[in-house]
Amino acid sequence: MQSTGWHAVDSVQAALFGNPNMDGQITLQGNNREDVMQKTTCFDVFTQCSHAFHNGEPIRRVSQQDKEFHFQNWFKRRLQEAGLNFEESGRNTYPDFPLVGFTEGFEVKGLAHPGREADFDSNSQLPTGEHNGRQIYYVFGRYPADLKPYADQENGRKQYPVHDLVICHGDFLNADHEYHHTNKSVKGFGSYGDILIRDRRMYVCPTPFALAQGTTGMMTLIMPQGYQEPPRLQEVGQLRRREAERLVVGYTFDLRTNELSPEKIPNPNAGTEHQFTAYRVKGHSAKPVSMSSHKPTVVDLLDVAIGDDE
């Protein structure tokens, strides 16, 4: 596994980090290819979300069993209002809304608020800004955890507001595009040798609400630096994420002691800064967005405790 540099030359990254030159567009300078224009849909999608938020467009839960689609459906209506075509998302598709006609997709994460603030479960897909050639944007929407105050409209149908929302490029969560984790299992466990241990892709990732200050109660778009925002948007912050000194490239688990040991290597891109810009719709709040103060990671703490320096 290797973390991808910010200025890597693969085509899609070049599209992201090339020379911006018009509203929401950026020049892709390919290898011996004609320059190609790539337009992002994010500014339009974000504008629709912001307008819906400010107009009080509610989330509509269709039943008490609807634990995961209520916010997805809210976002789906915004895509439809933006006039975008997308593939209907099945339960197991990633991203939730792959666009048709654009190499972009949106992955939606609904979070009850108050609730988990610092991180979210990202099972089965390691967050990143590129998947199968598509740029991936994460849509974090928070809604009330306590729905008791909202009237039941038969069979658990309820309407309630969006508390706040952040759309961020997946690279804001993780800029590595190279790693592909697959689930594996080990057979023969247990005294009868007939139990299977699953090693399953399950990740816990910090939310943009924890990574950046100034997002609570707001609508915020976080884009890689370099896009030219349309006139209807205002910049509300510059955000930087710095690559870690070390990369976890494996781990071993001792079934006798229940000890899990990470294997780390120096990050060839250590210290590389990835720059992002935060936006809001003009006329809405200009409350600034900035990175939250750095908290030491578990790996940082282990490094200090163990004092190893491979």
Partner DNA sequence: AGACCGCCTAGGAGGACCGT
Partner DNA sequence: ACGGTCCTCCTAGGCGGTCT
**Which residues make up the interface to DNA (CB under 7 A)?**
65, 67-68, 71-72, 90-94, 96, 108-112, 114, 116-119, 121, 123-125, 182-185, 196, 198, 200-201, 204, 210
If the CB atoms of residues 114 and 283 are measured against DNA, the closer one turns out to be 114
Residue 95 CB, nearest approach to DNA (Å): 8
Report DSSP state, residue 171.
Answer: G
Q: Which of 74, 115, 66 is nearest to 91 (CA)?
A: 66
Amino acid of residue 72: Q
Q: Which of 89, 88, 58 is nearest to 74 (CA)?
A: 58
Residue 2 CB-density burial (10 A; 0-12 exposed, 13-18 middle, 19+ buried): middle
Amino acid of residue 148: K
If the CB atoms of residues 234 and 290 are measured against DNA, the closer one turns out to be 290
Residue 160 CB, nearest approach to DNA (Å): 13
Residue 201 CB, nearest approach to DNA (Å): 5
How many Å apart are CA 202 and CA 126, to the nearest integer? 8
Under 8 Å between Cβ of 183 and 133:
no
Residue 124 CB, nearest approach to DNA (Å): 2
Looking at the chain, list the stretches that DSSP marks H as alpha helix, in order from N- to C-terminal side: 11-17, 42-54, 69-81, 208-211, 298-306
If the CB atoms of residues 109 and 177 are measured against DNA, the closer one turns out to be 109
Residues of the chain by 3-state class (helix, strand, coil), percent to 5:
15, 40, 45
3-state secondary structure at position 54: helix
Under 8 Å between Cβ of 205 and 257:
no
Residue 161 CB, nearest approach to DNA (Å): 15
If the CB atoms of residues 72 and 220 are measured against DNA, the closer one turns out to be 72
Looking at 67-199, list the stretches that DSSP marks H as alpha helix, in order from N- to C-terminal side: 69-81
Residue 229 CB, nearest approach to DNA (Å): 28
Residue 181 CB, nearest approach to DNA (Å): 9
If the CB atoms of residues 114 and 288 are measured against DNA, the closer one turns out to be 114
Q: Which of 168, 290, 281, 288 is nearest to 234 (CA)?
A: 281
